[in-house]
Amino acid sequence: MESQIKHIHQQLVTKQITCTALVQEKLALLKENTHHSVNSLLDEMALTLAKKVDAKIANGEEIGLLEGIPFGIKDVYMVQGTYTTASSNILKNYKSAYTATAIQKLLDAGAIPLVKENCDSFGHGSSSENTIFGAVKNAIDTNLVAGGSSGGSAVNVAKDYTVFSIGGDTGGSIRQPAGYNNIYGLKPTYGRISRFGLMAYASSTDCVGPLAKSIEDIRIVLNVMSGKDTKDQTTIASTEIDEEAISNNTVKTVGYFKNFIDNKAIDPKIKADFLATIEKIKAKGIAIKALDFFDSETLVSTYYTLAMAETASNLSRLDGTNYGSRIEGENLKDTYSITRSENFSEESKRRIVGGNQVLSQGFSDEIYLKGLNLRDQISANFEKDFEEVDIILSPVTPNTPPKIGDSLKDPLAMYLSDAYTVGFSLGQLPTLTVPQGTATGLQITAAKNNEQTILQFANFLKDTI
């Protein structure tokens, strides 16, 4: 698939279509909400912006590449004056007071926001069923889950309801739904894109990233959103990636984790397809190196220990006082507890209780500090790996998407389904899901700040397998 952004840009400047008609068409599709991908429509804002683009074109003025391009926003980003619900009851009526930096950059470039997209509440989940807006349906088979937590964003892109969408990835939430719906989804290096205005889940691994149908669109959107931000002290400087730089492959050695593939939980077809891909890459003269890594249980428990601790801390502000639907109790303490017990989902409560347990006196040394220590070991392991290989290739998920309703019965199985994505999050590495290789795609990971190598290799894979 070629760049849709460039294609639409061309159609706009040559007056084959108007921006208003384009936006109207997409809004009409989203309004149907056939896949439960929509939490709220930004129709008024979108149509006002579209008119401005049309007026510019009619005046003979030049427009930028992203000007007039319709996009979607996971419902965890602040956009001033719009509902930002995190698909939760507690913030069902919350309206953003300001706009997230990443979204502001897109607005400044002229892109048009259409929709706040359904997701797992506060990013808690891997299926987009943990939401008050109804389980998101998979774009390819509506009986299956869309994946999560950025399920609505992935489905909207896959169905062409948006040209690209902005998801959030803490432990796989962009990459996994991208894989489940056969599109591209990038989790950039931690800090490459500002988190200011993204509702915090686990601050040490939260990342902003794009979902799209082409590598080129991922590149364009990544460039616009990247950069240091005084409002997020963890942001890092990065250089723009140009189209030329990703057209020729320079990757010489590809690594893969033996234990991901030998794992007994992997679907035999995903395993066979992954190994066949490795063979095709080898046949192109690229060296392959099997690597050792931590086992799935260690990765998943380290991630969930830290993610739960951080989310318990981040969500403590939602007590019905400054934010959120308040339910009055007999006294203040009572009000807090009723508000939080009634308004958080079962899954979010499980994580808040688990996180507070992990952080509490008597447990924190044994559990939380151990988690931090393991995370350091995981990062050190990656550093060693990237001395030997240029990229690491892995499946996105051990299995194909489950039926809607099935995963809610077994939270532990759901956590384990994140086995292949969470390690890269703990390492704060850039990782891209490409819709190739296995039924749920492949993940291409590089060392920190090496998004260029990833996009380059993705282009190579597109032509190779």
- The catalytic site residues sit at 74, 149, 173
* Residue 84 binds ligand GLN (CB under 6 A): no
Binding test (CB under 6 A) with ligand GLN, winner from 201, 260, 386, 420: 201
Q: How far is the CB of 82 from ligand GLN (least distance, A)?
A: 21
* 3 vs 37, beta carbon nearer ligand GLN: 37
* Residue 123 binds ligand GLN (CB under 6 A): yes
* Residue 324 binds ligand GLN (CB under 6 A): no
Binding test (CB under 6 A) with ligand GLN, winner from 68, 70, 110, 125: 125
The residues with which 288 forms a beta bridge, in sequence order, are 254
Whats the size of the chain, residue-wise?
465
* Residue 307 binds ligand GLN (CB under 6 A): yes
Cα 358 to Cα 206, 305, 376, 392: the distances in Å are 20, 7, 18, 32
Could you tell me which residues come within 8 angstroms of residue 46 by beta carbon, excluding any fewer than 6 positions away? Answer: 23, 27, 70, 112, 113, 114
Distance CA 221, CA 210 (A): 7
* 26 vs 175, beta carbon nearer ligand GLN: 175
* Residue 394 binds ligand GLN (CB under 6 A): no
Q: How far is the CB of 148 from ligand GLN (least distance, A)?
A: 6
* 53 vs 76, beta carbon nearer ligand GLN: 76
Q: What is residue 435's DSSP assignment?
A: S
Q: How many C-beta neighbours within 10 Å does residue 212 have? A: 27
72: which 2 tokens?
A: 């979607």
Q: How far is the CB of 303 from ligand GLN (least distance, A)?
A: 7
The secondary structure of 419-430 as a DSSP string is TTTHHHHHTT--
- Is residue 13 within 8 Å of 57, Cβ to Cβ? yes
* Residue 37 binds ligand GLN (CB under 6 A): no
Query: Order of strands across the sheet with 391-395?
Result: 38-41, 112-117, 70-74, 164-169, 207-212, 184-187, 431-434, 442-445, 391-395, 253-257, 287-291
- Name the segment binding ligand GLN (CB under 6 A); options: 79-87, 118-126, 218-226, 248-256: 118-126
- Name the segment binding ligand GLN (CB under 6 A); options: 117-125, 177-185, 247-255, 293-301: 117-125
Residue type, 42: L
* Residue 419 binds ligand GLN (CB under 6 A): no
Distance CA 167, CA 145 (A): 17
* 304 vs 336, beta carbon nearer ligand GLN: 304
- Name the segment binding ligand GLN (CB under 6 A); options: 31-39, 51-59, 62-70, 122-130: 122-130
Binding test (CB under 6 A) with ligand GLN, winner from 418, 445, 457, 460: 418
Q: How many C-beta neighbours within 10 Å does residue 222 have? A: 24
Query: How many positions of this chain bind ligand GLN (CB under 6 A)?
Result: 13
* Residue 197 binds ligand GLN (CB under 6 A): no
Q: How far is the CB of 424 from ligand GLN (least distance, A)?
A: 11
* Residue 124 binds ligand GLN (CB under 6 A): yes
* 217 vs 418, beta carbon nearer ligand GLN: 418
Q: What is residue 401's DSSP assignment?
A: P
| Binding track over 139-178 against ligand GLN, x by CB under 6 A | ----------x-------------------xxxxx-----
- Is residue 209 within 8 Å of 166, Cβ to Cβ? yes
- Is residue 253 within 8 Å of 289, Cβ to Cβ? yes
Distance linking the first and last C-alpha atoms of the chain: 14
Q: How many C-beta neighbours within 10 Å does residue 141 have? A: 12
Which residues in 242-301 contact ligand GLN (CB under 6 A)?
Answer: none
Residue 203 phi/psi, 5-degree rounding, is: -60, -25
Residues near ligand GLN, by CB under 6 A:
123-126, 149, 169-173, 201, 307, 418
